[in-house]
Chains A and B, each alone.
Chain A
Amino acid sequence: MVVQAFAFYLFAGILVTSALMVITARNPVHSVLFLILAFFNAAGLFVMLGAEFIAMILVIVYVGAVAVLFLFVVMMLDINFKDLRKGAMHYIPIGIIIGGILLFELSMIYSYWQFAPTISNIDLPTDQFADVSNAQALGLVLYTDYVFPFQVAGLILFVAMVGAIVLTLRVRPGVKKQNISEQQARKASDVLEIKKVTTGTGV
């Protein structure tokens, strides 16, 4: 238990600190690197919960793809973050006022907050799938109980793809493209012409 508690506080502590660093770091590249650190620690927490599939997905998708993409975008776009911050200073008073009101309201709610009473009306999915791995459990429900959201998710991704093409694809006329079959079909006789040039006359 001590080891578990130690691991939890270690992951959670680093997660919160690195999340703070994401928004406070002056250099945006550092922010993204801290974000990656935060993802890794969150994955650690998921492993501790027994959700190893989500942990792996988090590392592969978020660290492997999204964060690296962020890094590229941040490095390629020349955004002057100092100028962005200048405008933000202007709004700090109103931000503090709104934040204060929210904090007040949240504390009001918290003063008579009840945590959910024991919920009786669900059969926890973990009971059904106690002895199978995460990925297997997901596979068992994804194509049966949740086939509708799964299919609609497919449609959403399809629309996203169509949308990206609609908004960015531009057909530019007159662009020279490589046509390999044409290149291969060229014969020397089509393009080369050998002329006899007599000395001193030119072509």
Chain B
Amino acid sequence: MENLNIMTLLPEIFLAITAMGFLIAGVMQGNKSTDVLCWSSCLSFVIAAALLLRIDWDTQYLLNNMLVSDKFSMMLKLFIVVGLTATTALSVRYLYFERIARFEYPVLIIFSGIGMMFMVSANNLLSLYMALELQSLSLYVLAAFHRNSLRSGEAAAKYFILGALASGMLLFGISLIYGFTGSLDYQIIASSLKNAELIAPGFTIGMVFVIAALVFKVSAAPFHMWTPDVYQGAPTSVTAFFAIVPKVAALGVLIRLLFEPFAMAESQWTQILYFVSIFSLLFGSFAAIAQSNIKRLIAYSSIGNMGYALIGIIAATPQGIGAVLLFLFIYMVMTAGTFSILLYMRRDGISLERISDLSGLSKTHPVLAYSMAALMFSMSGIPPFAGFLSKLFIFNAAVASGHFVLAVIGVLASVVAAYYYIRIIKVMFFDEPEDEFDGNMSLEKRLVLLFSIIFVVGFIFKPNALLDSAMSSAKVLFM
């Protein structure tokens, strides 16, 4: 066991140990320690990020090739940790307002985070499956965290049943791939495909099942059915978490699968993703028009956004994957900012989630209204905000590899999507004002919002720093 590079896994090991420690502390102290544990888990995410930055980013294979650690996985792990920090910070007060502050909340978030970090560095279909289950199981419990709410229970039941179905599809696909290539290891699968004269139909079927299961996890159409209901039913802080972090992990897994073991079957998977991407773009933009609940709206918007990300994958160039990484990060930041406002919205102690509840926000809370407007403009891809650039890079990559149809559909879909983003701005600025929200915005929400606004507005001045690191991490997959 000479290549037992345990140091490379230090962030995950650190998080696992802290999670168990927090659980013990929680059992000793009871639910009154929830806020302390939430803040400590934020701190431990920051420490994990620091550890991630300290360790070696060169490609190395760990634990009998079960995991790979390279620039791509490190970059995604960093995104995941940043997202986890933001969502944990945003949810503390919400938990107390909704009277669901129990100490298991941060523990489950950390465990799902570990699952996601293992997912993006999986180098074997077995470790991929285990990591995916660790992540999903924690997410199912989090969706049901509001035990006394019927909606939360319904959301969790739907998510669990459909998620279990997706896991079943994944396992079925993995078993077919194992049968036709003789291994679960990514490199061996790739080399056995390279040696075969033609790709066996059985392998293609297995690959379709695996892709379908992962597309379910990123909630792209036509595997999106659970998204609106789960986003609406789950507690808003959990919705924020769902919208921000797991997608990064699932897309990371998908990208690595497509470009490492399935690289030889590119002509096959391009067809599937082409359809999925177009369907998500159209569905995400048209179905969102009729929504009146903001959480549902964000669900449909996330379906549409996954469509854009898939365009970058279909381009199948380092440029395209780099654009997807950048897109994911910008999407994460914008969503975090939006949820910091959403989680603050409550009147008479009841949290608000209808679009009409925002009416006249420009009179009652002008700063919030302008921030929200910037975020919505950015989401709809209007220059000079970050959302515009992220879409631009994706379309650029698509055009560069000749996918003009996809790029045109993407632009048209973003025009349709602009309608519902800008409708929110119209409601805030031109409708009759309603009463003010309860209390002041708490410090952590202000910080998240401030960071996200600075990023969204300022990204255009210095896009290269992030773009270059995204591109260089994407290049690793093509070596």
Note all chain B residues with C-beta closer than 8 A to A109. Answer: 201, 205
Mask: chain B, 106-140; 1 = CB below 8 Å from A; 0 = not:
01100100110010000000110011011001101
| Count of interface residues, chain A, beta-carbon cutoff 8 Å | 29
Q: State in angstroms the CA–CA spacing of A42 and B243 once bound together.
A: 43
* Identity of the chain A residue whose Cβ is nearest the Cβ of B63 in the assembled complex: A148
Of residues 119 to 163 in A, which have CB atoms within 8 Å of B's CB atoms?
A: 119-122, 144-149, 152-153, 155-156, 158-160, 162-163
A81 within 8 A of partner (CB): no
B63 to chain A, nearest CB (A): 4
Residues B130 and A152 in contact, CB atoms below 8 Å apart = yes
Q: Specify the main secondary structure of chain B where it touches its partner.
A: helix
Would A152 and B137 count as touching, CB distance under 8 A? Answer: no
Q: A116-B200, A122-B183, A159-B111 are in contact. Are A152 and B141 (CB under 8 A)?
A: no
The reply to whether the CB of B188 lies closer than 8 angstroms to some CB of chain A is: yes
Q: Inside 8 A of A6's CB, which chain B residues have their CB?
A: none
A91 located at the interface, meaning its Cβ lies under 8 Å from any Cβ of chain B in the complex: no
In the bound complex, do residue A162 and residue B23 qualify as a contact, i.e. CB atoms below 8 Å apart? yes
Q: How far is the CA of A160 from the CA of B111 in the complex (A)?
A: 11
Q: Determine which of B63, B141, B200 lies in contact with A162 in the assembled complex, contact meaning CB atoms within 8 Å.
A: B141
A166: chain B residues at CB < 8 Å are 102, 104, 108, 141, 145
A79 at interface, CB cutoff 8 A: no
CB of A149 within 8 A of CB of B66, answer yes
A114 to B202 Cα, complex, angstroms:
8
Residue of B16, B118, B130 most packed against chain A (CB within 10 A):
B130
Check B127–A117 contact: CB distance below 8 A.
no
* Cα–Cα, bound, A153→B127 (Å): 10
Contact A163 B183 (CB under 8 A): no
B147 within 8 A of A: yes
Contact (A156, B182) CB under 8 Å given A148-B63, A162-B108, A166-B104 = no
B200 touches A121 (CB 8 A): no
B192 touches A148 (CB 8 A): no
B202 touches A159 (CB 8 A): no
Query: CB of A167 within 8 A of chain B?
Result: yes
List of B residues within 8 angstroms of A158 by Cβ: 20, 111
Report if A116-B179 is in contact (Cβ < 8 Å); known contacts: A156-B133, A159-B138, A163-B137.
yes
**CB contact under 8 A between A156 and B137, given known A114-B201, A121-B188, A166-B145:** yes
Chain A residues with CB under 8 A of B64:
144-148
The answer to whether B126 touches A167, judged by C-beta atoms less than 8 angstroms apart, is no
Interface residues of A in 152-193 (CB under 8 A from B): 152-153, 155-156, 158-160, 162-163, 165-167
A-B contact pairs, 14 of them (CB 8 A): A116-B179, A116-B180, A117-B200, A120-B195, A121-B182, A121-B183, A152-B127, A153-B130, A156-B130, A159-B108, A159-B137, A163-B140, A166-B102, A167-B141
Residues on B facing A (Cβ under 8 Å): 1, 16, 20, 23, 62-64, 66-67, 102, 104, 107-108, 111, 114-115, 118, 126-127, 130-131, 133-134, 137-138, 140-141, 144-145, 147, 179-183, 188, 191-192, 195-196, 200-202, 205
Given A152-B118, A155-B134, A158-B20, 4 more pairs with CB closer than 8 A: A159-B111, A162-B23, A163-B138, A165-B104
Write the residues of chain A forming the contact surface with B, with a CB cutoff of 8 angstroms.
109, 112-117, 119-122, 144-149, 152-153, 155-156, 158-160, 162-163, 165-167
